[in-house]
Structure 1
Amino acid sequence: MSLQQVFDHLDANMSTYKTRLSDAVAIPSVSNSQETEHVEATRSVLEDYTRCLLESIGATVDMREIGDNQEYPPVIFATLGTSASKKTVLVYGHMDVQPAQMSDGWDTEPFAMTTIDGKMYGRGTTDDKGPVLAWINAIEAYQQENIPLPVNIKFVLEGMEESGDSGPLQDLILSEADGFFAGIDYTCISDNYWLGQNTPCITYGLRGIVYFHVNVKCAKKDLHSGVHGGVVYEGMAELCAILNSMVAPNGDITITGINRDVLPMTPEEEASYGPIDFNIDTYKSELGVTKLTHRTKAGILQHRWRYPSLSIHGIEGAFSDAGDKTVIPAEITGKFSIRLVPDMDPQKVTNLVKAHIRSFHNSTGSENEVTVSTTASAFSWLGDTSDANYTAGKRATVRVHHKAADLTREGGSIPITLTLQEATGASVMMLPIGSSDDGAHSQNEKLNVSNYLNGMKLLASYMYEVSQLAAGR
C-alpha cells in the first residue's frame, strides 16, 4: 500500500519532474570544453543546482575538490540516513554532458528541453541528468507521502565523466574506502540503457579499455610529394599499414596472443543469450547499416559484450582540411583502442600491442621512428547476478514493468564501476531507465516521458525490495 502511494505521487507530479529536468538541461555543463561558459556551468550544475536539490530532500552534502587545480569541478559526496537497521545503497551518477550545438544536426536547441510526442529532447536528458533526477524524485516522493525511506542513501555525483578524466575522482574514492564508503551494502548505477525499446534490462558487465597512440616520424619537416615522393619511407603509408595489420575487415583482432586470457564461455552463459529481447533488423536500422559482421543474435551480442574489439579512431597530424595539399607529413599519430573483457589485463594487452607493432615495423625495412604509448586503461567488470542486490533489481523490474529484466552486459567502459566495487567491497549493479534509441552522445538525445516516470518507480521499488530482502521477505 505504501509503495502504491509513492507511485501515485510520482504520477501526480510529473509536470514538476519534467520542469526539474528542463532546468538541468538548460545548464550547458560540457565537461570536455575549455570555454569559460561551459567550465562555469559544469561547476554550477553541481555546486548550485544539484546541491540545492539534495539539501531539499534532507541530504548532508559535502563538496569535495579534486585534482591539483581548479580545472576540475567539485564532486558531491552526500548522505541521507544513517540508520543501523537499514541497508545502505550507494548511488553514482554524473551531471556533465557531451558537447552539442544546432549545427551538429540537432532538430531542437540541445540546451532547451523540448517535448515532442512523449519524448524529451535535450543534451543530458538520458545521459545522465534524467537518471540522477529520477533518484532524487523517487526519494522526495517517499518523503512527501510521509513514508520512511526504506534504505540509507549515499550519493557520489561528479562532473568530469564525459571528459574521460575521472582519474582524480577514482583516487579520492579509493582514499575514502574506510571513510565515506565504509558500511555501504550495495551500489546502484543508472548510467546506461536498455538493449532495445521494449524490455527493461539489468546490466552486470562492462568491457574495459586500453587507448593507444602510435606515432610515426619519417622526416624532420613536411616534404613536397612531387619532389620527394617515391624515395622516402612515407610515415602515413607505414602508419596505415600498421593500423591495418591489427584488425581484419570483419573485426577480428590479428595481434598474436590477444585472445589468450579471454574467459571461456560456459554452457550457462551460452544459453542466456536465447531469451534476450533483441531484434537484428531493428538494430541495423538504428545504426544505419545494412550488414553486420555476425548473423545471429547470440553472435552479435557476444561480440558486443564478451569478446575484445579493436577500433581505429583517427589520425593526428595529417592534412584533413577541404581542398588539396600535396604534402608528405613528417610526423603523424594514429589513435586506436582495444576493448577488454574478463580476464584480460591492460598491461599484458599493451605489451602484446607493442610487440606486434615493433615486429611489423621491423619487417618493413623502414627506419622511421615508431613509438607507442597508452593514454587510458581500465579493467573490465563483471557482477554476480545471483546476489541480493540483483535480486532486488529483478523484483523491482517485474513490479513496475510486469516482465522480467533481460540480463545484459555493455560493450562500453565505465572505469568508476570497478573503482566503486574495490572501495566498498560491495555488489555493483547497473539499473538503466533509458531506451536503446535515446541517442546519448548523439544528435537529438532524448528520454521518453514514460521511461522517466517508470524509471522513478523502478528506483523507488528497488529501495523497497532491498529493505524487504533485508527483512527476509
Structure 2
Amino acid sequence: MVYPHAYRMEHTETNTSNNMYGLHAISQSKKIKIPPELLKLLQTIDSMKEKFMQNLAKAIEIKSVGPNLLFRNDVQKMVMFVEEWLKVLGMKHEVFNIGTYTVEGKKCRLPPVILASLGNDPNKRTICAYVHVDVPDPKFQKWDTDPWKLTVKDGKLYGNGTGCGKGPLMCWLHALLTFKMNKMPLPVNFRMCIEMMGHANSQGFGAFCSTKKQDFFNHVDFVVQIDGEWIGHKVPCIIFGTVGNIHMEMTMEGDSIETMKSDMNTIFDSMVNERMEIQIPHYSDSVEQIGPDEEMIYAKIDEFDPEEIRESLPPHKRSWDRVRLLINMWRLPSVMLDKIEECTCPNREKKMIRRHFILKIVPRQTLDYVKELVVKHVQRITKEKNLKNKANLKIISAGKPWVENINSSCYSTAKKAILQITKMEPFLIREQVSRETTNVFDSGLEKKLVILPICARGSNLGQANEHISSRCYQEAIKVLVAYMFQVASLKTKKNVKAKSDKPKK
C-alpha cells in the first residue's frame, strides 16, 4: 500500500532509483548455510552459557557511574576489568586521558577511553566495535532487584548495564574468546573503542577520536555499535538512522510575570499549532522526501502494533496506520514543549520566566539553518505583535540526524549474519532519539556505522529494572561471530583495486 503524505516525491508510484532505499530483501530463503568453522564456534558458545553469564555478573558488580565523582574509584575498577580481559585475549591496548570537565564545581579529569586492537593483516577487512561501559546511578530509580547484582528471573538477566553497555561489552569479549578457545584466527582485523561517558552525552569523546583519525581509525572499514531495542519482541532489528534535535531555552526578564507569560505564549502559539505541528515558515522545506521504497521498509515492520499505543495518541493521530505513525516518529519534524517556569533572576528587582523546548531534526535539515529560522521567527513575531518583553534564546545542546545507506556492505553483512543465526530477516528501523556517537563516527571520522540492538522491546535500557533475555544474550554473541565471517567474505580493498585496474577489452 502506498500512503500519500506531505513529503512523498512526485511520480513515484513504482520503485524509485534512489540509492538510499532499494528493495532490501536478502533472499526468498530464510536459511544461510553455516560452514564447519562457524558451527564449531557456535557449539562452543552454547557450551559456555553458564560461564558467560558469570562473566557478565562480574561486570555488573562494578559501580561504573561515569560522571559522578563518588564512583571515580569504581570507574577505575572498570578500566582494570576491561584491561584484564584484553590481556587474556592478546589484544594490544592503551588507556587515554581525554581531557577535563567541570562537575560539582570542580575541574576534574574525564574518565579515560580505551583503544584496543587485534590483527593488522592488510588482506583482511577491519571492523571496530564501539562500547560504553558506564551506567546511570540507580539511586534515582526504583529497582525491584539489586541493580549491582545479576539476577535471573523468568529467563531474563536483570542488572544495571545488562542490555546497555556492559552486556554488549561482554558479548564482544566472549565472541573473541570463542575464537581463542578454538585456536582459530579472527577472519577480520578487530579494533575496540571503549568509553566511560556514554550516559553523559559522550563528553570529550568526539574531540579525542578526531585525534586518532589518521592512525587507530585509519583502516577501519565498519564501526559496529550494540545499542537500542528491537521494535518488537521476536524479530531482530538493525538501526540505520536516528533523528537529531536542538534543545533550546527561551527566557524573559521583566517586572510582571503575567505579562511575560502572555508574550511567551504569543510566541509559541505562532511557532506551534494545536496539533504540535511546527508553523515556522520554511522550517520543513529541506526535509528529505520519502518514496515508496522507503515506505516499503516500514510496511514490513509488522511487530509494531498501533493498537498498543492508540489510546495514548492525540485524537488526530488515532486513525493513522502503522506506516504513517512510523514516518511521523522517525522522519518528520516535531517539537516538544516543557511548561513555563518562574525562576530567580540575578537582578532581584526583576523577575524571570523560562521555557525549554526540543526541536526534532530530520535528514537534510541542518542545525545552523534550523537555529537561524527559529531565532528570526521569534524576532519577527516580537516585532509584529509589538511585544513588551524581549525573548532570549539559548542552545542547551544539539545533535545532527544520522542515516546510513542500507544497501552498503556494512548492512548486507549484518543482515546475513542475523539471518544465518536466527533464521529471521531483521527489520530495518530508525530511532526517535539523537546519538552523539553517530556524529562522531559518521561526520567526524567518516566511517560506515551499523547499530545492532540485542534487546527486545521493553528492556528498560538505562532505566530501572534493565534486563536482557538469556536467549538474546547468547544469540548476540553468535551473531557477532557470524558477522565477522560475513565481513571477511567481502572482497578486500586490494582485490577490488586490482580488478578495477584491469584494462577493458
TM-score (norm 2): 0.82
Aligned pair partner of 2:299 in 274, 280, 283: 274
Aligned pair partner of 1:181 in 217, 227, 249: 217
Q: Could you tell me how far 1:416 is from its partner in structure 2?
A: 1.7
Counterpart residue type for residue 413 of structure 1: S
Question: 1:78 and 2:78 equivalent?
Answer: no
Question: 1:9 and 2:44 equivalent?
Answer: yes
Question: 1:344 and 2:369 equivalent?
Answer: no
Q: Deviations over 1:51-87 (max 9, x none)?
A: 2222221111111111245331001111111112211
Q: Distance in 2 between matches of 1:66 and 1:217?
A: 39
Is residue 243–residue 400 contact of structure 2 (8 Å, CA) maintained in 1? yes
Q: Distance in 2 between matches of 1:234 and 1:131?
A: 52
Aligned pair partner of 2:131 in 80, 93, 101: 93
**1:323 corresponding residue in structure 2:** none
Q: Could you tell me how far 1:140 is from its partner in structure 2?
A: 0.7
Is residue 314–residue 336 contact of structure 1 (8 Å, CA) maintained in 2? no
**2:180 corresponding residue in structure 1:** 143
Is residue 279–residue 297 contact of structure 1 (8 Å, CA) maintained in 2? yes
Q: Distance in 2 between matches of 1:117 and 1:232?
A: 54
Give percent identity, aligned residues only.
24
Counterpart residue type for residue 71 of structure 2: H
Structure 2 regions of 5+ residues with no counterpart? 1-35, 102-107, 496-505
Structure 1 regions of 5+ residues with no counterpart? 220-230, 320-327
**2:312 corresponding residue in structure 1:** 289
Q: Distance in 2 between matches of 1:19 and 1:10?
A: 14
**Secondary structure, counterpart of 1:304 in structure 2:** helix
Aligned pair partner of 1:403 in 414, 419, 424: 424
- Give 1:296-315 correspondences, 5 Å limit: 296-313=321-338
Q: Structure 1 residues 442, 149: closer, same or farther in 2, change over 3 A? A: same
**Secondary structure, counterpart of 1:273 in structure 2:** helix
Q: Distance in 1 between matches of 2:418 and 2:248?
A: 39
Q: Distance in 1 between matches of 2:307 and 2:459?
A: 14
Is residue 24–residue 129 contact of structure 1 (8 Å, CA) maintained in 2? yes
TM-score (norm 1): 0.88
- Give 1:47-196 correspondences, 5 Å limit: 47-68=79-100, 70-101=108-139, 104-166=141-203, 168-196=204-232
**Secondary structure, counterpart of 2:277 in structure 1:** coil
**Secondary structure, counterpart of 1:407 in structure 2:** strand
More displaced 10-residue stretch of structure 1: 413-422 or 288-297: 288-297
Counterpart residue type for residue 90 of structure 2: G
Q: Could you tell me how far 1:276 is from its partner in structure 2?
A: 1.4
- Give 1:203-218 correspondences, 5 Å limit: 203-218=239-254
**Secondary structure, counterpart of 1:418 in structure 2:** helix
**2:400 corresponding residue in structure 1:** 379
Q: Distance in 2 between matches of 1:127 and 1:420?
A: 19
Q: Distance in 1 between matches of 2:307 and 2:136?
A: 26
Is residue 235–residue 329 contact of structure 1 (8 Å, CA) maintained in 2? no
Counterpart residue type for residue 125 of structure 1: T
**1:447 corresponding residue in structure 2:** 468
Is residue 206–residue 444 contact of structure 2 (8 Å, CA) maintained in 1? no
**1:224 corresponding residue in structure 2:** none
Q: Deviations over 1:170-222 (max 9, x none)?
A: 11212221111111111111112211111111111111121111112123xxx
Q: Distance in 1 between matches of 2:291 and 2:243?
A: 18
RMSD of aligned alpha carbons: 2.5
Is residue 94–residue 161 contact of structure 1 (8 Å, CA) maintained in 2? yes
Q: Distance in 2 between matches of 1:355 and 1:451?
A: 49
Counterpart residue type for residue 305 of structure 1: W
Q: Structure 1 residues 55, 384: closer, same or farther in 2, change over 3 A? A: same
